Amino acid sequence: MDDNAQIIRPQDRRLDELVDQLAEMAPELDMPDAWPGHQLALCGEYGVYRWFVPKAYGGLEWSDADIIRGYLRLSEACLTTTFIITQRMGACRRIAMNEQNEPIKQRLLPDLVSGQRFATVGISHLTTSRRHLAQPALRAEPTEHGFVLDGQSPWVTGSPYADLIVMGATLDDGRQILVALPTDLAGVEVADPLRLIGLSASQTGPVACHRVHIANEYLLVGPVEAVMKQGVGARSGGLQTSTLAAGLAGAAIKFLETEGQQRSEIAAPSEALRDQWQRLCDALLAAAAGEPVGTNEELRHRANDLALRATQAALAAAKGAGYVTGHPAGRWAREALFFLVWSCPQSVLNASLCEFAELE
């Protein structure tokens, strides 16, 4: 594919071409041991990995609003592939935006931007996972030339395919670091991926570090307090999970609209859901432009709620046929549950629990 195939703007017709191909291949990702290698390579060819990276490093530096428009289209077509892209993008942005280590950008970014190498993140143990435990999941011990990492990062998407992992670790004094960990360093052990109820093809699992010596040349940020709050557009990062939930809801609503053409009872619910979807997307785009449309947590709660309701409506409309393995409505309903747990802030979790329990 030549350079003209790159999607330069979210309005490009080539985005339609890419999403059609991703949607067609989405069902096969429900097979055991699947991995969307072909889909990810295709996204590389269409220049998707360039959307998120500054121009100085070969990226296209799309605005936050354009990234939301792009993600909405991709996630409607294939949530698994798009989710993996978010983890890869998280790693690239952490490398590109770090203010401590300029040489690592030149060394790593060209191959990541072109799609030649695959990077992912292992950071949830600093934010939403294992936070109730007395000991940090992954410890960092300073040495003369870098750090020794010891412990485990419990969730790393695409770990068997990763050339490097942007990994968080905690020092004994509570400060934290982020490193770009090459997976071929001695002592790095990638466990078998977990069997999940949806998105299994994301090949997510734990990565252990058995006293891994990592040199300062791989250090991205720190040691500092709360390393995840440093730099890199925290707000837009927070919006991407909600955007993917909206994309999934969009797929389910489209299905309802198609069914509604033959079945009059479906028309009113699908219209109402489409209206809510449009208002959610407008709010996400406004938030990306810095307008005051509520907090990231409020938007996330709305997006989760719509993804759950729209996918269950699609399943109900598909009836028994939707409950048979292979029907997209069943897959979407399982995938929507992911948003209850993926990078879910405590306040959103609390709000969901109260809503499920019908508490004020």
Ligand X SMILES: Cc1cc2nc3c(=O)[nH]c(=O)nc-3n(C[C@H](O)[C@H](O)[C@H](O)COP(=O)(O)OP(=O)(O)OC[C@H]3O[C@@H](n4cnc5c(N)ncnc54)[C@H](O)[C@@H]3O)c2cc1C
The residues binding ligand X (CB under 6 A) are 87, 120-124, 128-132, 154-157, 196, 199, 202, 204, 341-343
Whichever of 257 and 297 has its CB closer to ligand X, that residue is 297
d(CA 120, CA 219): 16
Minimal distance, residue 192 CB to ligand X, in Å: 14
Closer to ligand X at the Cβ: 98 or 120?
Answer: 120
* Least distance CB 191 / ligand X (angstroms): 13
We find the least distance from the C-beta atom of residue 346 to ligand X, in angstroms, to be: 9
When the beta carbons of 120 and 240 are compared against ligand X, the nearer one is: 120
Query: Quick one: 170 or 343, whose CB is closer to ligand X?
Result: 343
Beta strands in the chain, from DSSP E residues, in sequence order = 119-122, 138-142, 146-157, 164-170, 176-182, 188-190, 204-215, 219-224
Write out the two tokens for 330.
Answer: 């069943």
The single-letter code of the amino acid at 188 is V
C-beta of 294: minimal distance to ligand X in Å? 22
Q: Are strands 176-182 and 219-224 parallel, antiparallel or unpaired?
A: antiparallel
Closer to ligand X by CB, 43 or 156: give it: 156
Decide if 30 contacts 78 (C-beta within 8 A). Answer: no
Q: 122: which strand partners? A: 167
Cβ closer to ligand X: 39 or 202? Answer: 202
SS3 (DSSP) at 211: strand
3-state secondary structure of 278: helix
Q: Which residues pair with 157 in a beta bridge?
A: 204
Shortest distance in whole angstroms from residue 282 CB to ligand X: 27
Task: Look up residue 19 and give its DSSP letter.
Answer: H
Q: Please report how close the Cβ of residue 132 comes to ligand X at its closest, in angstroms.
A: 3
